[in-house]
């Protein structure tokens, strides 16, 4: 084993928008762990929520929390068990699968480790003590939850594997057929990646919608969608009027034209990536009889839905929580993008880069916006260390 520093500097959140750069001691490496010099972390929407509000929905931060869970880095030390197996070696470049499940409970044994009740997930306040995130110099992580990267992939590519895995799982959960018609609500990173996976894996036709014209334009320019639609938000005071707005919006989307001139109509699958109630409502109205509404985004906890539309047309509502065994396929897709120019190019999602731990506050601030100071779309922000 090679020597490595005894401390790790990181940015720790002590309150809403209160970051402190701290050096914390590192304990001896565990027998089945590897020590990783973190090189790239892309910021997730949950990171931004913790930064802005010191909570993510109902999950409150209970101690100083280091953000970041979409990450890749270089292995600088391995535990004795890992050393014997040579599964991962010093110098390997790895992507970090940030959720560590118990692998012993019924859910884990049935192959659904993503919903393990004992799951510890980096940068989340759900478990306590918190499993600290990757916006720090070094992390020790179980070797079995690290994925070696092929030579063609960069650290940034490795960080993007985490949200890409979410979207692979989302498309898998939907049971998408070849050539299916899809609508994606939300043209942020997750929405774009859902669209990309649907296209790459199943040659789907995709409509993408967002309230931000720049994001829709980005999706069309880079081939993430065939049709774009900019939503003009409307307010209403009653449930009936809100549902009427959602119904009308679904009809508008249905009147759009695919590139060949055919009406979009109702679609087979809707990937709802915003969590916004009105978008979920519209998703239900926009779905074909027997189709799927896939809830990818996390948003308003309590919502009103047109349940009669679901039951009367046998629409399936499919929920998504992170991913299961999706990193290997994510690596294959990313490698094909880099080595064989597979389209759409998911690496285009990184629109803003920051260097060093000192830049983390600025990175958070940028990631919390849909446009930067020059009015350019903000899709994905990365911090390089």
My answer on whether 226 and 186 are in the same domain is yes
> What number of residues does the chain have?
385
Domain boundary among 319, 339, 374: 319
CATH number of the domain enclosing 202: 3.40.50.720
Give the model confidence (pLDDT) of 165-205 as tens digits.
999 999 999 999 999 999 999 999 999 999 999 999 999 99
User: Mean per-residue pLDDT for 143-158?
Assistant: 98
pLDDT band for position 57 (cuts 50, 70, 90): confident
Euclidean distance between CA atoms 25 and 138, whole angstroms: 10
Same domain, 259 and 184: yes
Same domain (yes/no): 295, 173: yes
**Residue 108 forms part of a structural domain:** yes
Domain shared by 232 and 376, yes or no: no
Q: Does residue 336 belong to any structural domain of this protein?
A: no
Q: How many CB atoms sit inside 10 A of residue 238's CB?
A: 8
- Check residue 299 and give its pLDDT: 82
Do 142 and 178 fall into the same domain?
Answer: no
The answer to whether residue 197 sits within a structural domain is yes
Quick one: 246 and 313 in the same domain?
yes
- 3 state DSSP class of 372: coil
Name the nearest CA neighbour of 38 among 176, 168, 137. 137
In a domain, 329, yes or no: no
How far, in Å, CA of 221 to CA of 32, rounded?
A: 45
Does residue 38 sit within a domain?
A: yes
pLDDT in tens, 85-123: 988 999 999 999 999 999 999 999 999 999 999 999 999
Q: Could you give the CA distance from residue 343 to residue 382 in angstroms, rounded to a whole number?
A: 22
Domain count, the chain: 2
On whether both 314 and 222 belong to a single domain, the answer is yes
CA 191 to chain centre: 9
- Cα first-last separation, the chain: 23
Residues 85 and 198 in one domain: no
In a domain, 105, yes or no: yes
Domain at 21, CATH number: 3.90.180.10
Return the bridge partners of 147, or none. 95
Examine the domain organization and report whether 230 and 275 are in the same domain.
Answer: yes
For residue 131, give its domain range: 7-148+349-384
Residues 53 and 134 in one domain: yes
Do 133 and 171 lie in one domain? The reply is: no
At 1 the pLDDT is 43
Q: Give yes or no: residues 305 and 357 share one domain.
A: no
* Predicted structure pTM score: 0.96
Distance CA 24, CA 355 (A): 21
Q: What is the DSSP letter of 152?
A: T
The percentage of the chain sitting over the pLDDT mark of 70, rounded to a whole number, equals 99
Q: Is the pLDDT of residue 159 over 70?
A: yes
């Amino acid at each position: 084993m090679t020597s490595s520093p005894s401390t790790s500097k990181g940015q720790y959140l002590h309150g809403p928008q209160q970051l402190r750069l701290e050096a914390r001691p590192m304990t001896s490496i565990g027998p089945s762990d590897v020590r990783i010099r973190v090189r790239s972390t892309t910021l997730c929407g949950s990171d931004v929520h913790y930064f802005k509000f010191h909570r993510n929905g109902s999950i409150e931060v209970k101690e100083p929390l280091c953000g970041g869970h979409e990450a890749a880095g270089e292995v600088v030390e391995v535990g004795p068990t890992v050393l014997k197996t040579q599964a991962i070696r010093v110098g390997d470049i790895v992507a970090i699968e940030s959720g560590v499940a118990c692998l012993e409970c019924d859910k884990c044994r049935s192959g659904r480790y993503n919903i393990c009740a004992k799951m510890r997930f980096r940068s989340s306040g759900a478990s306590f003590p918190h499993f600290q995130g990757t916006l720090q110099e070094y992390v020790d992580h179980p070797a079995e939850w690290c994925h070696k990267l092929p030579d063609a992939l960069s650290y940034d590519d490795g960080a993007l594997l985490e949200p890409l895995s979410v979207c692979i799982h989302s498309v898998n959960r939907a049971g998408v057929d070849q050539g299916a018609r899809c609508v994606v609500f939300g043209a942020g990173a997750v929405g774009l990646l859902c669209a990309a996976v649907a296209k790459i894996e199943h040659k789907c036709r995709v409509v993408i919608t967002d309230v931000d014209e720049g994001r829709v334009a980005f999706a069309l320019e880079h081939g993430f969608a065939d049709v774009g639609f900019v939503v003009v938000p409307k307010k209403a005071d009653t449930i009936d009027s809100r549902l009427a707005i959602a119904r009308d919006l679904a009809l508008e989307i249905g009147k759009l034209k695919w590139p060949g001139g055919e009406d979009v109509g109702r679609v087979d699958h809707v990937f709802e990536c915003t969590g916004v109630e009105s978008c979920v409502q519209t998703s239900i109205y926009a779905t074909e009889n027997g189709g799927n509404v896939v809830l990818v985004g996390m948003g308003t906890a309590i919502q009103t839905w047109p349940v009669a539309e679901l039951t009367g047309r046998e629409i399936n509502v499919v929920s998504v929580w992170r991913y299961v065994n999706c990193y290997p396929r994510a690596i294959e897709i990313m490698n094909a993008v880099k080595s064989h120019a597979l389209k759409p190019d998911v690496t285009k999602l990184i629109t803003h880069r920051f260097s060093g731990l000192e830049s983390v506050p600025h990175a958070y601030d940028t990631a919390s916006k849909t446009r930067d100071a020059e009015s350019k779309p903000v899709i994905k922000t990365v911090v390089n260390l």
